[in-house]
Amino acid sequence: MVKCKLCGERAVVKIRYAKTYLCPKHFTEFIERKVKKSLIRYRMVSRGSKMAVAISGGKDSAVMLHVLSKLSKDMGFNLIAIHIDLGIEGYSEKCVDAVLSLTSSLGIKCLVVRLKDLVGRGVGDLARITKRPPCSVCGIVKRYLINAVSIELGVDAVALGHNADDIIAYTFKSFMLQDLESIPKLGPKTESIDDLAVGRVRPLYEVYERETLIYALVNKVPFVQDRCPLMPRKSLEFKIKDVFTDLEYSMPGIKLSYLKNLAKRLSDYPKPGTPVRSCGVCGLISSEPKCGFCKLTERVTGRALGKEVRDRLKSLIINLV
Amino acid sequence: MVKVIILPNGDEVSIKFSRPVRLINVLKELGFNPEGVVALRGDELITEDDVVSDDDLLKLIKVRSFG
């Protein structure tokens, strides 16, 4: 039996980069301490602030909410959960169940936003009709709705569940494609822009994907383990994750070094060429006269739905409060 | 015979070892990087340095998410 380096109990995890073995209790404390350090180091939250937490039903955002729920009491900030039901048959129902099971066990209010109620169709239909990849449509929908809800809630920031491996995969891919303007948006924190966009924070910035899975298992955090049926089997991000998993094994800690150095150099990357403006239909952030969500819904329904969707969200929020 | 179930797909494989071995040997035999999976024996998480025996039933969960 391998023993915890801190207490001698049975170890459940070897953390190669920290040269240690930990039991469930000390591993849980290790992860919570790591997230707390990121919240402080990257100034993600302040005492008395209000944070929305975007939760999908997957392990990463579920673990993020679980950890933030503990830290919020200690650090004095307030939480509300947001879940976007993407209307993916046989999958979204499981996600909603997992999210509500977690939020009710933690005593955190959760706003469930159902895409089908807002635009009449789920992500799969939107992708099929517009002939766009489902992940691209899903990204537009989630980014828009999470931002729109966060604006209406009046929160100071919205927390996203991207883990260390996600951020490495996205930034490395952006570098490979020389889409350098996208890289600063993937850092630990982006700032709010008045009335247009709520700032985003990534509390799991330095937490490895393997660590979120172990935290979820050790703490019995409910999450959906199924594969999203719309997700492709192969992608460049997956390949990059595999490469970095191999690198981490032979050079423990290389992923942490990458992320810490990236955070220091984010301001050196170029800013987007087109200035930020307000969508002519819904008034939220856009780089063009019409935002991606309004253009998408216009293609599908013949009408840009951003303004109507924002009005519906306002009434959803009034009912929640 | 060490029986291994690989999740989330549910694929099953069995491997024969002549003596108890560390989990890392099982992972290497199956072509898995220890940084890319989490292992359970029954309901208990185990580390790559734990010893597994011939009659153990293991579950390997691939870390990379699919959501």
Per-residue pLDDT of B14-58, as tens digits, reads 998 888 999 999 999 999 999 999 999 999 999 999 999 988 999
Per-residue pLDDT, B67: 54
Measured CA to CA, the distance from residue B36 to residue A210 in angstroms comes to: 7
Query: Which chain B positions have a beta carbon within 8 Å of A12's beta carbon?
Result: 44-47
User: Could you give the domains of chain B?
Assistant: 2-62 (3.10.20.30)
Q: Is residue A12 part of a domain?
A: no
Q: C-alpha A231: how far from its chain's center?
A: 17
% of chain A beyond a pLDDT of 90: 93
Query: Which chain A positions have a beta carbon within 8 Å of B46's beta carbon?
Result: 2, 12
Measured CA to CA, the distance from residue A240 to residue A117 in angstroms comes to: 36
Measured CA to CA, the distance from residue A161 to residue A62 in angstroms comes to: 8
Per-residue pLDDT, B66: 56
Range of the domain at A87: 24-320
What residue in B sits closest to A247 (Cα-Cα)?
A: B35
Per DSSP, what are the bridge partners of residue A298? none
Q: Is residue A262 part of a domain?
A: yes
Its ipTM equals 0.95
pLDDT in tens, A12-22: 999 999 999 99
Query: Which chain A positions have a beta carbon within 8 Å of B40's beta carbon?
Result: 217
State whether B33 and A246 contact (CB < 8 Å).
yes
Query: Which chain A positions have a beta carbon within 8 Å of B63's beta carbon?
Result: 209-210, 213, 245
Q: Does A219 lie at the interface with B, CB-CB under 8 angstroms?
A: no
Per DSSP, what are the bridge partners of residue B2? B15
Torsion from C-alpha of A62, A149, A94, A101, nearest 10 degrees? 50
Q: Provide the number of structural domains found in chain A.
A: 1
State whether A227 and B35 contact (CB < 8 Å).
no
φ, ψ at A133 (rounded to 5°): -60, 140
pLDDT bracket for residue A233 (50, 70, 90) = confident
Q: Is residue A230 part of a domain?
A: yes
Per-residue pLDDT, A272: 79
Per-residue pLDDT, A35: 98
Q: Does A19 lie at the interface with B, CB-CB under 8 angstroms?
A: no
Q: Is residue A229 part of a domain?
A: yes
State whether B65 and A209 contact (CB < 8 Å).
yes
Q: Is residue A220 part of a domain?
A: yes
pTM of the model: 0.95
Measured CA to CA, the distance from residue B34 to residue B28 in angstroms comes to: 8
Q: What mean pLDDT is predicted for residues A199-220?
A: 98
State whether A58 and B67 contact (CB < 8 Å).
yes
Measured CA to CA, the distance from residue A290 to residue A285 in angstroms comes to: 9
Buried b (16+ CB within 10 A) or exposed e, A204-234: bbbbbbbbbbbbbbbeebbbbbeebebbeee
Measured CA to CA, the distance from residue A242 to residue A169 in angstroms comes to: 10
Per-residue pLDDT, A142: 97
Q: C-alpha A204: how far from its chain's center?
A: 9
Q: Does A187 lie at the interface with B, CB-CB under 8 angstroms?
A: no
Q: Is residue A18 part of a domain?
A: no
Q: Does A1 lie at the interface with B, CB-CB under 8 angstroms?
A: yes
pLDDT in tens, A241-294: 999 999 999 999 999 999 999 999 999 999 877 889 999 999 999 999 999 999
State whether A245 and B35 contact (CB < 8 Å).
yes
A249 vs A125, B22, B33, CA distance in Å?
A: 41, 17, 7
State whether A249 and B44 contact (CB < 8 Å).
no
pLDDT bracket for residue A321 (50, 70, 90) = low
Computed over every residue of chain A, the mean pLDDT equals 96
Q: Please tell me whether residue A72 adopts helix, strand or coil conformation.
A: helix
List the single best residue of B35, B40, B50, B61 to mutate versus A (max A Cβ within 10 A).
B35
State whether B8 and A59 contact (CB < 8 Å).
no
Q: Please tell me whether residue A151 adopts helix, strand or coil conformation.
A: helix
pLDDT above 80 (res A88): yes
pLDDT in tens, A49-86: 999 999 999 999 999 999 999 999 999 999 999 999 99
> Which CB contacts under 8 angstroms, 24+ apart, belong to A164-167?
A164/A204, A164/A205, A164/A206, A164/A207, A164/A208, A164/A209, A164/A255, A164/A256, A164/A259, A165/A208, A165/A209, A165/A241, A165/A244, A165/A245, A165/A255, A165/B64, A166/A60, A166/A209, A166/A237, A167/A202, A167/A205, A167/A259, A167/A262
If one compares B2 and A105, the residue with the highest pLDDT of the two is A105
State whether A21 and B7 contact (CB < 8 Å).
no
φ, ψ at B46 (rounded to 5°): -130, 160
**How many of the other CB atoms lie within 10 Å of CB of A93?**
14
Per-residue pLDDT, A273: 78
Q: Is residue A201 part of a domain?
A: yes
Per DSSP, what are the bridge partners of residue B4? B13, B58
| Unique residue bearing structure tokens 């729920």 | A69
Q: What mean pLDDT is predicted for residues A12-36?
A: 98
Q: What is the CATH number of the domain that holds A120?
A: 3.40.50.620
Q: What mean pLDDT is predicted for residues A139-148?
A: 97
Q: Is residue A5 part of a domain?
A: no
pLDDT in tens, A184-204: 999 999 999 999 999 999 999
Query: Which chain A positions have a beta carbon within 8 Å of B36's beta carbon?
Result: 210, 242, 245
Buried b (16+ CB within 10 A) or exposed e, A120-158: ebbbbbbbeebeeebeebbebbbbbbbbbbbbbbebbbb
